[in-house]
Each structure stands twice: as C-alpha cells, then as structure tokens.
Structure 1
C-alpha cells in the first residue's frame, strides 16, 4: 500500500494563508514519487485577510478550511478529522497563515502559542515517531509544537533564526536548495520561498525535502 502524507494548510495565498506555490510544488513532488496525500486545515475564520495585489489587510471574513480547499480541492478535510493511524507523515508548507492562523507568532513573537487544534492533531504523530517536513515559516512552529532541541531551518534570516533559538530550538543556516535534517526527531525543513526567487528555485529544496521525508516513511 502506498504511503500517505497529511499536508496541513492555513488558507490560500502567501500573505494570509498557505504559500500557494509551495503547496503546489509539494503536491507535485509527492505525486511524482508515488506518495499519496490528504490536505487538512482548521475550520475557523482567518484572523487576517489581505489583498494580495496591494499587500494591505482589509475587513472581510474568510474561513480557513474553505480557502484551503482552493488549493487542496474538495477532498480537503477539517484538521479535527486527522487520525495518525491513517497517514504516515506530515508536511506543513509555509505562508503567512503559519504565523497568523496556525500560531500567533506574527503578534506574539517568541511568546507565541500554537493553535490548539493543530497541537491536538499533530502531537500524536510526533509521539509515534512519524516524520515531519516543514518549509518557509513552518519551522517556527517546531519549538512550541514538537519540543525544544530540534534542528530546523528558515534559511538565512537572522531574525527568524534568533526567534527559533530563543524558543529553545536549534537553527541551521541553509541555502534555498538545501534541507536541514534532524534524524533523531525525524524532522526535515527547507527555506522554500523565504529565499526562493521563483518556483524552479524553490522546487530544488522542496523536492529534496520530500525525498528525505520519503526515506523516513
């Protein structure tokens, strides 16, 4: 039976949800390697909605799960339905939704907390030793979600790297085509669009992440 991965989304669009290009490259990479996937997102309103042309926030109500389905399709499921017995690993693409919806890092900084639904859904995976792949902003979740002392990368961003260290994580500086691997904790991460200038450049690290994740499934 083919391995299955849960892809955790935080909406649709890099300014207030999941980074769409990272999601598409992730799904492509998984499919090319014969790894099945299911997309999940929390069912609730986004704390922030942004006009992606102007970059300005505006007053509107958007449901995270409905927005995520623009990327994951009609099969996108409520995060509350995620069962660690059904899938073999987890991938979390980046995007500003990671720091506004899946956590409050954007407003709380290193005093951040993780969305309770995310913690409830994903901690059992970590406790069972199932692997995680994280890209873009997603590695910022690790110290609060999976625990301290886990090595991750946000590329070469000194401010974000410092935040990870302040929360008890370990940061490894990486180029866009590289991954940070913590084999003990079964976590792989890559900078993706924190560094990439376009999809082709981002794909080098994302596909490498998927290859390393596949070895752990």
Structure 2
C-alpha cells in the first residue's frame, strides 16, 4: 500500500500569535507514528501582531508566519500557495490564536471573519476532492468557510464561540477534550484541545483520536 501523505497548515509559532505548539507537535507526532509522510505549509504573510509569550503583551516588532512556522516544522515548511489536495490524502490544521489571527481574522471579527485566500483555496480543494480534514481547537471556525452551511464541528463547549460558528452556518456539537466530533458527510473531524484542556496530556487524547480517524478516512 502506498505511503499516505498528510498536509499540516501552520499559523506561526506560539499559542498567542501563531500555532499552538503542543497541538501542532502532538499532531505531527501521531501522524509520524502512523507512518505517513508529512508536509507542513503556512502562508507567506506578516503576522497580525507579535505577542511576548512571557508577558502576554503585544511586542513592537513584525514576524513572518511562514518563517515562524519553520520553527515547529524544523525548517521543512512550504508556502501554502503550493498546497493542493491533488498531492495529499488529508489535511490537519492545529489551533492557537494564529489560526484565528493569521489564517483568518476570526479573533477580531467573529462570524464576520474572512479567511486568507490561499489557505481557503487549499482547504477547499480537500473538501472538493472528498479528502478528510482535521481541525483542532479554534481551527473549526474555518469549517463553515470551507464547507458551507450545515457543516458539523466542535470547539468544545464555549457558548459564545459556538454561537459565532452557528452564525456562520455551522452546526456546533459540544464535546469534551478527550473526544472528537465527526461530520461523516464531509469527512471532517474536530476536537477541542486547548479550548478545554488544561495540560498537554489532556489535549493529547483527543488529538490522537483525530489523527487516527483522519488516517482511517483516507481509506474510504
């Protein structure tokens, strides 16, 4: 059987202004354990802003999302403009505020958000090809933009965030940190991770289930 190829879209490096590092690393670990070939991608754009992760205050500097994502990917990251479902069997997008600040502006605009054109084009190519997508933590806010109204997903149980997703046309299902929600019609899997989890061991359970299910769905 040919080796499965999974794409991972990153949004920088660090929970407050990029990809959540635990979530991204766990996803990469569990993909590697499944023996798949992994390729990371990120948009080649400036971050919305830079947060000092020690003080949690905004820092007066600029950083590039692709360059910062290379920290997590150990340099093996490509511009998301190069990503198409033709070359891969599935897609995973970890959370972190960068998913809602750099991949989109959901952190600032909520249900009125827009998504980076290159990220949306890449993700939609997987949906059109009926290839599975896994969205972690806050990343499920992208689901209604990718699939349209009626898509089923979870960000855990935060009522305000869930309400914003539902305004966008998603059907939100509450879910605990150790579980996943699957939209079978769309081959979409989501898990709350740090939207609910208090530590890395808690979020690891749901992320492992998401990766395992996504790999299973590449065979259907």
Indicate whether the TM-score tops 0.5: yes
TM-score (norm 2): 0.97
The alpha carbon displacement at 1:161 in A equals: 0.7
Residue equivalent to 2:181: 180
The alpha carbon displacement at 1:176 in A equals: 0.4
How many pairs align? Answer: 217
Gap runs ≥5 in structure 2: none
**1:46-67 Cα deviation digits (max 9, x unpaired):** 0111000111112111000000
**C-alpha separation in 2, matches of 1:12 and 1:170:** 30
For residue 44 of structure 1, give the secondary structure of its aligned residue in structure 2. Answer: coil
Residue equivalent to 1:65: 66
The alpha carbon displacement at 1:145 in A equals: 2.4
CA contact (8 A) 1:22 1:93 kept: yes
Residue equivalent to 2:215: 214
**C-alpha separation in 2, matches of 1:122 and 1:106:** 19
Residue equivalent to 2:24: 23
CA contact (8 A) 1:114 1:145 kept: no
- Larger mean CA deviation between 112-121 and 22-31 belongs to 112-121
**1:43-90 Cα deviation digits (max 9, x unpaired):** 010011100011111211100000000001221111011132211110
TM-score (norm 1): 0.98
Matches within 5 A, 1:1-217: 1-217=2-218
The alpha carbon displacement at 1:114 in A equals: 0.8
Task: Tell me how large the CA RMSD over aligned residues is.
Answer: 0.8
- Larger mean CA deviation between 116-125 and 20-29 belongs to 116-125
For residue 85 of structure 1, give the secondary structure of its aligned residue in structure 2. Answer: helix
